[in-house]
Structure 1
């Protein structure tokens, strides 16, 4: 497992950060909107967004009209790596279960 995948999984270990990722799947949102939708205080949401940003899961932009406003959006790279890892793990389990099935059926027949 790569170090970046470890960072992604660690960031997604928290249920509030997973909920934030789910909210951002609908599209970019301001930090205040995310905090309100998640039922968190602004400082708590800020900490979660910082963790997600440092893990590379989200990116932060500022609209040209107000540099104080922070808009967050998902970055696809880390999630694509996580999906590829999960698919490889699923393939390994599928292969092992098929081998077990063949072994059991071979003994019974």
Structure 2
């Protein structure tokens, strides 16, 4: 169930649990840097928790940075080849094979990101 962003939160659910359990839940929330309400709602609705969402987004950003470094290296190589006006066939074939590998990895990464975004949108 997706909550309407404009809906007003003015209803309460009271539950009875042991003091120990409540303290344990609060410790979990403290470690994850989330609210107890968030923990309960997302657990009941089988949604990803906010701390997990932050980790996933950090992972995506890290992956993007790795590919930016690879793209920078490719551009540097292209600049060297352009200045020398020459690249051997062996070097060119190796470079082309590396580009194919990178392209396949990027495709896999994009597929994974699509799955992650779908999971995050729930």
TM-score range, shorter chain: 0.3 to 0.5
More helix, by proportion = 2
Task: Give the number of the structure whose alpha-carbon radius of gyration is greater.
Answer: 2
